[in-house]
Amino acid sequence: MIRESHSIVPPDPQLDKVQRLGLFALGIGLAMLFGSLFKFFSPQLTESLFWVMLLLVMAGGLVYGLRTHLKRPAGIQNNNITRSSISARGALGWTVGIIITTFYVVYYWWPEHIEGMVRFFDPLSQLIRSKPADQWFTYGAFYTIGVLVMGTKAIVKYRHSRYQIIRTCSIILSQLFLAFLIPYWMEAFNKPYFAPNYFWPLEYKVMMPDKFENLKEAGTVGQFIFGWAVVMILLVTPILTYFYGKRWYCSWVCGCGGLANTAGDSWRQLSDKSLKAWNFERISIYTVLVFVIVMTVAVWVTTAFHLIPETSAQLRKVYGFLVGSVMAGVVGTGFYPILGTRTWCRFGCPMAAVLGIIQRFKSRFRITTNGAQCISCGNCSKYCEMGIDVRWYAQRGQDIARASCVGCGMCSAVCPRGVLNLENGPVDQREEYTFDLLEDFKSRHKEKGVQAASAGKPKAKG
């Protein structure tokens, strides 16, 4: 008997009338949004047309997405993900990647070219914060709409899994309220911008001296915001990570992970599972963490002692460009259809690095495996967005307590044998595989030397 959550019944390849209607509405809405770039609409019609566009995009996306998955059996279908043009780095995938990347490049460095689109969002900005829109508000609106629509679709797609439903609801609510509405409501009341789900080292600006001075001038509210950032990184983060692993943040609260698990869900299988990628990951993510620590300390020291402030300002500028813009935005999101959805989380996020250190060495969280039941189908490794070769651990019956694991639970959801389970337990009872990067490098170097020596020996004459 086939488990409902792993049905092998292929989906209906034909679009029905409801799906066509949803796509039609979505297409019209996106056309109106594209038209706003060229200021096709008169100022008198902008407000009305914006709400029509918003309704068409959200309703069209929801109608198509929900209908597509509701007419299929509950569960995860693996049909054609390695052959589809959009999900397997085909022409459509590259096209979407180029479009998203181009948007990020223009948005970060040439925002004047999207001024028409920014003005198109004035009605929403006026409603939420009583002021005209800017590039950051417009981007936040795009981000939130994407998480809302695609998150709702994900709930229906993974409706067989209670864990995925609750987790996705948390992602949606966190993005809508913590990352979008609350910060702009604060602005509407002339208070400092405050997104409760972002704090140092991910939101490094909150710990900068100039931000600290601004928060002091804001009185009690400003002091609360700074205190919140300090308490979250020094107290809340270690405690929650100890009990629940990094999943409490990376898969339940963070907007970066939220977008990856909703709008980017179709590309999660593209992450690189090679040992080479793992080695690079371990170097790159902790390099960024060291960078942000050094930059933060340098800015405070130069400010406190009035020492060469130009140097610290330049260091901050370089970090903002390379990490904040290029890695987190252009590559981290723009390359979804090419590199997978967690490129930023895996290779660059300093918050993920902090959480990973705690999870690796002092956390009750682990993914347990029942190796006797594993059939080596590879679904778990295929769907791991963090590039972990989950099957390798499952075959050996070893717990997975990798620093990079975000606890999304997808490996467990796609396993047809129930081999994998997300659990909490005593730290000293985790059955882990240990990997020493330096020792691995030495052994590989030695092995290459032996091979080279063997290749250079003359063959014995017969």
Decide if 294 is inside a domain: no
Q: Spell out the SS3 assignment of the chain.
A: CCCHHHCCCCCCCCCCHHHHHHHHHHHHHHHHHHHHHCCCCCHHHHHHHHHHHHHHHHHHHHHHHHHHHHCCCCCCCCCCCCCCCCCCCCHHHHHHHHHHHHHHHHHHHCHHHHHHHHHHCHHHHHHHHCCCCCHHHHHHHHHHHHHHHHHHHHHHHCCCCHHHHHHHHHHHHHHHHHHHHHHHHHHHCCCCCCCCCCCCCCCHHHHCHHHHHHHHHCCHHHHHHHHHHHHHHHHHHHHHHHHHCCHHHHCCCCHHHHHHHHCCHHHHHHCCCCHHHHHHHHHHHHHHHHHHHHHHHHHHHHHHCCCCHHHHHHHHHHHHHHHHHHHHHHHCCCCHHHHCCCHHHHHCCHHHHHHHHHHHHCCCEEEEECHHHCCCCCHHHHCCCCCCCHHHHHHHCCCECCCCCCCCCHHHHHCCCCCEEEEECCHHHCCCCCCCHHHHHHHHHHHHHHHHHHHHCCCCCC
The whole-number average pLDDT for the span 171-181 is 97
- On the question of pLDDT at 5 being above 60, the answer is no
- On the question of pLDDT at 432 being above 70, the answer is no
Decide if 425 is inside a domain: yes
CA-to-CA dists, residue 8 to 74, 179, 383, 384, angstroms? 11, 38, 17, 20
Count of structural domains within the chain = 2
- The pLDDT score that the predictor gives to residue 426 is 81
**At 417, which CATH number?**
3.30.70.20
pLDDT tens string 374-393: 999 999 999 999 999 999 99
270 compared with 445, residue with greater pLDDT: 270
79-88, 171-180, 422-431 — which is least confidently predicted?
422-431
Decide if 449 is inside a domain: no
- The pLDDT score that the predictor gives to residue 9 is 47
Decide if 288 is inside a domain: no
- On the question of pLDDT at 126 being above 70, the answer is yes
d(C-alpha 271, C-alpha 338), whole Å: 9
33 compared with 431, residue with greater pLDDT: 33
What percent of the chain clears pLDDT 70, i.e. is strictly above it?
Answer: 89
Nearest to 399 by CA among 378, 358, 442, 428: 428
Q: pLDDT band at 14, cuts 50/70/90?
A: confident
- On the question of pLDDT at 7 being above 50, the answer is no
178-192, 312-326, 331-345 — which is least confidently predicted?
312-326
- The pLDDT score that the predictor gives to residue 199 is 94
38-42, 141-145, 350-354 — which is least confidently predicted?
38-42
45 compared with 178, residue with greater pLDDT: 178
- On the question of pLDDT at 240 being above 70, the answer is yes
Report the range out of 43-57, 167-181, 207-221 with the highest average pLDDT.
167-181
The whole-number average pLDDT for the span 282-287 is 95
- The pLDDT score that the predictor gives to residue 2 is 43
Domain boundary residue, one of 196, 229, 252: 196
Q: pLDDT band at 304, cuts 50/70/90?
A: confident
**Average pLDDT value for the chain:** 89
Residue pair 401/366 in contact by the 8 Å Cβ criterion: yes
Domain boundary residue, one of 180, 196, 212: 196
Domain that holds residue 414: 364-429
- On the question of pLDDT at 135 being above 60, the answer is yes
Domain boundary residue, one of 196, 220, 254: 196
Decide if 137 is inside a domain: yes
Decide if 175 is inside a domain: yes
Decide if 186 is inside a domain: yes
Decide if 329 is inside a domain: no
- The pLDDT score that the predictor gives to residue 458 is 55
- The pLDDT score that the predictor gives to residue 306 is 78
- On the question of pLDDT at 34 being above 50, the answer is yes
Q: pLDDT band at 445, cuts 50/70/90?
A: low
